[in-house]
Amino acid sequence: MVPRLRSCLAGVVTAWLAASPAPAFGWGEKGHIVVARIAEANLSAKARAGIRDLVGDRSIADKQIAVWADLIKRSSFYAKKYPKNPTWHYIDLPIGVASEKVGDFCAQGNCVLEATRKFQAVLADPKAPQLDRKEALFFVVHLVGDLHQPLHCAEQNGDKGGNKRRVRLPGSGFHILNLHSVWDKTLVEAAMDELEPLDYADRLNAGLRKEEKTTLGAGDIQAWIVETNKVAKESAYDGIGENDGITGEPIQLSAAYVKKSKAVVELQMKRAGIRLARVLNAAFD
């Protein structure tokens, strides 16, 4: 999307909800920076030291770290080193899938579930080559964020996590997006209400009490994916029929849909940040 159009849409969303807090959506570049920043604020001393050994004084919220796993998707070099890496960012789970069935949808281990587990293990292995551990860090930072984006862990009627569903935002005229991109990045900028990603992350983190962080950090990777799938069913696909936006006219998203999503997405970003910190702390502690 061109900058002028993105800015225009952000302004439209802000105008809809001028009387209430701005809405928040999914994890494009800025969303991943937000998640990494929250995680960084909750790292243990050992994790901070371990990360410093791998990347020096760079922040894991640096774009080149937080979004690295996206940046290499079309790299011929990394296609040889990490075959199938583009499929590691998601798992196409039918909405409402049972927990014990999750593995059935991870073809040959090429999904966000097994990729996150794999790189978590590499990062935690002090005997692994330094470069491999560094790249494992980059993957973990990104993939833990991805598995909390509702449409990275869900699909309905073969829509590829909403990628096949055409939608229109309120006030956007005839401009058509797909549902996945809406949750991935289009509206996250409007959610930040002109804040920069780091400031937005700091605001979210500052609102979390210690006991909330403990609660948010509970569970494991598979449980988080099942939880995210449930969020997709109850929120991202709320009011959307099986064929809506796939056939016929695009879905006209309402201001109420956008507003409702604010609390959902902010919670998912908080969960992702706190859980990423937990994964990193465990790897280095």
Q: What separation, in Å, do the N-terminal and C-terminal C-alpha atoms of the chain show?
A: 42
Distance CA 232, CA 162 (A): 10
- Specify whether the backbone of 178 is left (phi greater than 0), alpha (psi in -120 to 50) or beta: beta
Mean pLDDT estimate for the chain? 89
pLDDT tens digits along 70-90:
999 999 999 999 999 999 999
Is the separation of the CB atoms in 34 and 201 below 8 Å? Answer: yes
In the block, tokens 């403990």 appear at 214
CATH code for the domain of 213: 1.10.575.10
Residue-wise pLDDT for 216-249, tens only, equals 999 999 999 999 999 999 999 999 999 999 999 9
Quick one: CA torsion of 226, 232, 234, 237, rounded to 10 degrees? Answer: -150
CA distance 192 to 202: 12
Domain housing 167 = 3-284
For residue 40, pLDDT beyond 70? yes
pLDDT at 187: 67
Q: Quote the DSSP letter at residue 251.
A: E
Q: Are 69 and 85 within 8 A, CB to CB?
A: yes
What is the model's pLDDT at position 4?
A: 43
pLDDT of residue 261: 80
Quick check: 16 pLDDT over 60? no
Spatial contact of 144 and 279, defined as CB atoms under 8 Å apart: yes
Beta bridge partners of 166: 178
Buried-exposed string 135-172: b where 16+ CB fall within 10 A, e elsewhere: bbbbbbbbbbbbbbbbbbbbbbeebebbebbbbbbbeb
Number of independent structural domains in the chain: 1
The CA distances from residue 16 to 148, 152, 178, 253, 258, in Å, are 26, 27, 20, 12, 9
pLDDT tier for residue 280 given thresholds of 50, 70 and 90: very high
| Residue pair 124/279 in contact by the 8 Å Cβ criterion | no
% of the chain beyond a pLDDT of 70: 90
pLDDT tens, position by position, 146-196: 999 999 999 999 999 999 999 999 888 889 999 999 888 776 777 788 899
**Per-residue pLDDT for 141 more than 80?**
yes
Amino acid (one-letter) located at 256: A
Average pLDDT for residues 194-209, to the nearest whole number?
95
Give the H or E element holding residue 58. none
The answer to which of 5-19, 96-110, 177-191, 195-209 has the lowest mean pLDDT is 5-19
pLDDT at 23: 31
> Is 90 exceeded by the pLDDT of residue 64?
yes
pLDDT the model gives residue 250:
96
pLDDT value of position 188: 76
Could you read off the pLDDT of 84-107 as tens digits, one per residue? Answer: 999 999 999 999 999 999 999 999
φ/ψ of residue 264, rounded to 5? -60, -50
pLDDT of residue 11: 45
